[in-house]
Amino acid sequence: MKSMPVTPPSNNRIAQLIDANLDRAREGLRVMEDWCRFGLKRSDLSIQIKDWRQQLGVHHHNIYRKARLTSNDPAMGISHPFQKTRATPEAVFIANSSRVQEALRVIEEFTRITDPKLCEIATKIRYETYEIEIKVLNTSEGINKRQALKDCSLYLITTNRRNLEEIVLKALKGGVKIVQYREKFLNDVEKISQAKCLASLCKKYNSLFIVNDRIDIALAVDADGVHLGQEDVPTKIARELLGDMRIIGRSTHCLEEIKNAEEEGCDYIGIGPIFPSETKKKLNPIGINYLSKGLSKTSLPAFAIGGINSSNIEKLNQIDNLRIAVSNAIINSNDPCSKTKELLKFLT
């Protein structure tokens, strides 16, 4: 295919301008590429950005390079105070993405007539950078949520109570960092209303909010993820609906289910019931030895669940890096805040 002709700009200052913005765009793309590669471990995104950088490199013609302005550039070395406020990798990524978009817009405007192919490429890449920003932000958010999940040792599961919001608030003040909304009696309108309230409380206390079973409600209230039982939606379908930024947990009761959850890409698991449980009366307790065996078979964050309370938690003191999920122990306590602190003290 014959390439479009490149006409040297009539004004050398335009060639300098195009050269400077090609450099600016390619440098910004390199920053974006490296964060996707090393920071996010997203080879698909880094490959895409590298391709854009190469396309611009191919069209960085000598007529632009020869016009380069360096020592006589009046703006060389000038910085801006806002550059010192980029405290996170995401902020650095967005700043460089904006830099690329601005540079490409300048290239578009000054190459429409003289270098139509470069103009076409700059336009295409500029629009695609808007889309990749969203992907990177979602990926970063997912990474942050999963790190928060790893740091959690106490997981609160709600049950139907008239003053549930007050109970959860006290648990959050006590230090709970992940709350699962589990509700079997209210209608959907009532569930969504209550879930929104709890999600807002969790956000205020920088805690994760998970919805049991219901992917639709999780999406409706912008929850951090869902928890699924063995008979609920397959993980693959849940991931397609929820995307990469949200967490998926799965209840497991045997080694095979633990293995399946890990292979399917779940973010965490519950293992149990460890002791007889009021909420899982049909399931026989698997016991502490089986819990230890299950924990040794997975690298996922795993929460022991089922009948755990202040009177029997001492039986789990031989488990290293113990994580537990409780419901009644906090929900039905006289002082949810103090009970939360008591459980967390045992886990530290």
Residues 208-265 have pLDDT tens digits of 999 999 999 999 999 999 999 999 999 999 999 999 899 999 999 999 999 999 999 9
What pLDDT sits at residue 75?
52
What average pLDDT does range 140-167 have in this prediction?
Answer: 95
What pLDDT sits at residue 83?
53
Six-digit token string for 61: 């013609």
Gap between the Cα atoms of 33 and 107, Å rounded = 21
Nearest residue to 35 via CA among 121, 103, 105, 137: 137
> What are the residue numbers of the active site?
182, 251, 280
The 10s digit of each residue's pLDDT in 297-309 is: 999 999 999 999 9
CA angle centred on 227, ends 201 and 345, rounded to 5°: 60
Residues 6+ apart with CB under 8 A from 256: none
Residue 85 has pLDDT above 90, yes or no: no
Gap between the Cα atoms of 242 and 244, Å rounded = 7
Nearest residue to 98 via CA among 136, 72, 69: 136
Domains assigned to the chain: 12-145 (1.20.1260), 152-347 (3.20.20.70)
Residue 178: alpha-carbon gap to chain centroid: 15
What pLDDT sits at residue 81?
56
- pTM for the model stands at 0.77
Band of residue 1 on the pLDDT scale cut at 50, 70, 90: very low
Cα torsion through 329, 335, 337, 343, rounded to 10: -40
Distances (CA, A) of 156 to 51, 106, 202, 212: 46, 53, 12, 12
